[in-house]
């Protein structure tokens, strides 16, 4: 009996040690902060630079991002102007913190772009793309890259070709091979729409190749639906009967990635720090699912229909309500309707991070938080998320708890 107990105890120490190394190497739960490359151009008080990022809160900063590189004479070239802006950004961040990890996102700008499809399908172009990315990461000492190929395949209206599902795996395989020898990390920006998950992704293969999947669990209700709704509901409501929309929510999105074979620790939950506004068809009908005629009015800082959190908190005259199933607040003022995140709704999402043992959170965008402190403390939502992540037991804590059973 004593020998059996000793063996079990030894096994527990080995398991705990292994998990500790894993947690230590990954830095525990990650708080990844997207920085919009357009933020320094925002007018008035919305202007945001690398100096405003709360580096004491963010474990990682993701510069989002660079436009897809141009193909010329057998090589890919990033925009010189964008590279200069990236370099200045990195210099400022590194001068402020030696600990924070810096990533860069490679974006396709334009809803019908085929840049990723064309590159990933052709081995020569894949090699050239990987070479360009690796040179960029080495030159500026970045921690890794995020591949933001949002809509591979032909089953969605944003473009893509039929071979994208396999080409995506070929691309991630080549990028992974290049990054591994340089101790860099690979992120993949993953959608949660059921049709995309089924038909565009080989989830198990994706999650074997990448270090983390940054989940697109925000801005899931486009204005073109002509229905007033919160942009990141936890669950779907009875009025959502269209097959693809019925499971397009935070909980189903996370659980589908897990069910399809992605380890929860590799999944980073996306949280949008903004309000999404609609114009009501009839101001007297303002419940969730109320008919709308398009985006809400343009605010002071961004294009119509979107308000950064610092503007949400400073706009007066709204009546506040709560969607108990979607578990998010919404506000109504005249014919304007806006769903947004606050600490209550984010707290529910943090409960999910803990329950599912996800790898952390990514903010869209850190520059949308109340960085001026217009309504009290600076960066209240980012601070709240940081504090909640600190309270979540690490995997080693779960292992010790399991070993005691």
**Cis-peptide into 65, omega within 30 deg:** yes
Domain 30-272+341-391 coded CATH 3.40.1530.20:
no
pLDDT digits (tens, 9 = 90+) for 164-199: 999 999 999 999 999 998 999 999 999 999 989 999
What string of H, E and C letters represents the secondary structure of 83-146? HHHHHHHHHHHHHHCCCCEEEEEEECCCCCCCHHHHHHHCHHHHHHHHHHHHHHHHHHCCCEEE
Which pLDDT belongs to residue 154?
64
At 181 the pLDDT is: 86
Q: Is the peptide bond before 106 cis (omega within 30 degrees of 0)?
A: no
pLDDT at 402: 39
Q: Can you give the pLDDT of all 405 residues of the chain as single tens digits?
A: 433 333 333 334 333 333 333 333 334 899 999 999 999 999 899 999 999 999 999 999 999 999 999 999 999 999 999 999 999 999 999 999 999 999 999 998 766 578 999 999 999 999 999 999 999 999 999 999 999 998 898 655 667 888 999 999 999 999 999 999 899 999 999 999 998 999 999 999 999 999 999 999 999 999 998 999 999 999 999 999 888 788 999 999 999 999 999 999 999 999 999 999 999 999 999 999 999 999 999 999 998 899 999 999 998 999 999 999 999 999 999 999 999 999 999 999 999 999 999 999 999 999 999 999 999 999 999 999 999 999 998 765 544 443 444
3-state secondary structure of 18: helix
What's the confidence (pLDDT) of residue 13? Answer: 35
Rounded Cα–Cα distance for residues 236 and 229 (Å)? 11
Domain positions in the chain = 30-272+341-391
Q: What is the DSSP letter of 57?
A: T
Residues 6 or more apart in contact with residue 140 via CB below 8 angstroms? 86, 87, 90, 102
* Nearest-10 Cα torsion for 270, 273, 279, 280: 70
CA 268 – CA 218 distance, rounded (Å): 12
pLDDT for position 341 = 98
386 token code pair: 């940081």
């Amino acid at each position: 009996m004593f020998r059996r107990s000793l063996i079990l105890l030894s096994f527990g120490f080995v398991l705990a040690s292994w998990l500790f190394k894993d947690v230590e190497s990954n830095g525990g739960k990650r708080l990844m902060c997207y920085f919009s490359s357009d933020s320094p151009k925002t007018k008035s008080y919305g202007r945001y630079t690398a100096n405003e990022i709360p580096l004491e809160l963010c474990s990682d900063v993701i510069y989002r991002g660079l436009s897809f590189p141009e193909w010329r004479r057998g090589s890919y070239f990033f925009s010189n102007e964008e590279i200069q802006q990236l370099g200045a950004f990195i210099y400022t961040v590194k001068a402020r913190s030696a600990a924070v990890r810096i990533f860069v996102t490679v974006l396709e700008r334009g809803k019908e772009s085929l840049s990723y499809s064309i590159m990933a399908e052709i081995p020569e172009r894949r090699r050239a793309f990987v070479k360009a990315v690796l040179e960029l990461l080495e030159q500026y000492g970045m921690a890794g890259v995020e591949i933001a190929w949002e809509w591979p395949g032909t089953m969605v209206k944003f473009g893509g070709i039929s071979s994208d599902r396999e080409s995506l795996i070929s691309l991630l395989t080549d990028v992974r091979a290049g990054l591994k020898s340089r101790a860099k990390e690979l992120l993949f920006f993953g959608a949660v729409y059921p049709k995309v998950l089924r038909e565009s992704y080989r989830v198990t293969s994706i999650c074997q190749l990448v270090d983390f999947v940054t989940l697109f669990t925000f801005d899931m209700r486009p204005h073109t639906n002509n229905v007033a709704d919160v942009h990141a509901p936890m669950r779907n409501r009875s009025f959502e009967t269209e097959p693809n929309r019925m499971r397009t929510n935070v909980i189903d999105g996370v659980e589908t990635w897990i069910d399809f074979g992605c380890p929860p620790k590799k999944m980073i939950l996306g949280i949008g720090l903004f309000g999404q506004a609609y114009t009501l068809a009839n101001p007297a009908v303002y419940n969730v699912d109320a008919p709308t005629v398009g985006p809400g009015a343009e605010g002071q800082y961004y294009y119509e229909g979107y308000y950064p959190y610092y503007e949400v908190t400073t706009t007066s005259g709204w009546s506040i309500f709560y969607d108990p199933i979607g578990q998010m607040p919404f506000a109504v003022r005249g014919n304007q309707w806006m769903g947004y995140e606050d600490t209550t709704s984010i707290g529910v999402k943090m409960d999910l991070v803990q329950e599912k043992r996800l790898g952390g959170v990514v903010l869209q965008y850190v520059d949308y938080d109340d960085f001026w402190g217009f309504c009290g403390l600076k960066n209240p939502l980012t601070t709240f998320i940081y504090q909640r992540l600190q309270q979540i037991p690490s995997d080693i804590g779960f292992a010790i708890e399991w070993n005691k059973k």
